[in-house]
Amino acid sequence: MIRFLFLFMMLLAMAQTNHAQTVSKEAVTLKSVASFPLGAALNPKLLNNALYGRIAEREFSSVTAENHLKMHHIHPEQNRYDWSGGDALIAFAQRNGQRLHGHTLLWHQAVPKWVREFQGDSTAWEQLIKEHIQTVVGHYKGRIAAWDVVNEAFEEDGSLRKTIWLEHLGPDYIARCFRYAREADPDVKLFYNDYGQESSPGKLTAMLDMVADFKRRGIPIDGIGLQMHTNIRHPDRQIENTLRQTVNTGLLVHISELDIRINPDKKPDLVPTDALWQQQKQKFASIVRMYKTVVPKEQQHGITIWNIGDGDSWIPNFCKCQDFPLPFDKQYAKKPAYDGILEGLK
């Protein structure tokens, strides 16, 4: 009898241990391990998918508006603003105790038709952009923690991109946009956001020179967004160099739009292999680890993944190819890339 009771107690203890280990494993999420804000860019229309919403809530502590705060969505007509998408994301983030990062006030794409057809002198254009920035920032004052004020203003060689804004507002328009945003919200963090600094030395230098110039002139700027749309072959040394040079500005550093392509050759019919999944996993781990170790704690604005599942990514439509750049697959199951992020965070 005593032997039977002993065996029963041993089996019970083993079952309890296994259950505890299972519960503990399930309780581990990206945001529970991260020592800095870890975010995802979200599409508010996809929040109607319960699984999408649960993952966004469970795994991430920060939210970026993927498209719905861009000008063509939020200001579709000259005298009309559409707050619905942004307000839905605000409500989601507030409900789940998440930070909201605003993207973006000014970009050369996502420009509504009324702006493309706008007729007016430089003063009228200045009033247009000032009103847009201050109306949008003012509407979300106190509810959005940071804004990408200007997005992708430089070419690869470091010259200013020839855009509708440069044409009508002149070469110092970036600085004025930052001033208008600061006037509208004295407390919000203001970021310049761009892609490819890790592969374009000219663009990186131009961005760093702009920051130095802003500091000399007293132009408000709080952070730099490094989009980091990268691929499994990109050299880690270039990414680390970009992080280190950006850290030297003293500003906040945000890896703002992270995704990692497994198909840099843009093959239309690529079929993923275990080797490609493992390369993607290692690249996610490497980038997250670099951010954690290279960027001082006080400059860590965080890392944002550019959406959640492979089916939500912008990349396949852009490249007209098969690619799978995110940590969850099209059915929102975790990929090896998810484990790579966890490894980098630990």
Residues classed as catalytic: 152, 257
Other C-beta atoms lying within 10 Å of the C-beta of residue 240? 17
The separation between the first and the last C-alpha atoms of the chain, rounded to the nearest angstrom, is 47
Give the C-alpha separation, 290 to 300, whole Å. 12
Residue type, 251: L
153 phi-psi bin (left φ>0, alpha ψ -120 to 50, beta other): alpha
In 3D space, the residue among 228, 304, 224 whose CA is nearest the CA of residue 261 turns out to be 228
Omega prior to 104 cis, within 30 of 0:
yes
Answer yes or no: are the C-beta atoms of 240 and 227 closer than 8 Å.
no
**Can you spell out the DSSP letters for 131-176?**
HHHHHHHHHTTTT-SEEEEEE--B-TTSSBP--HHHHHH-TTHHHH
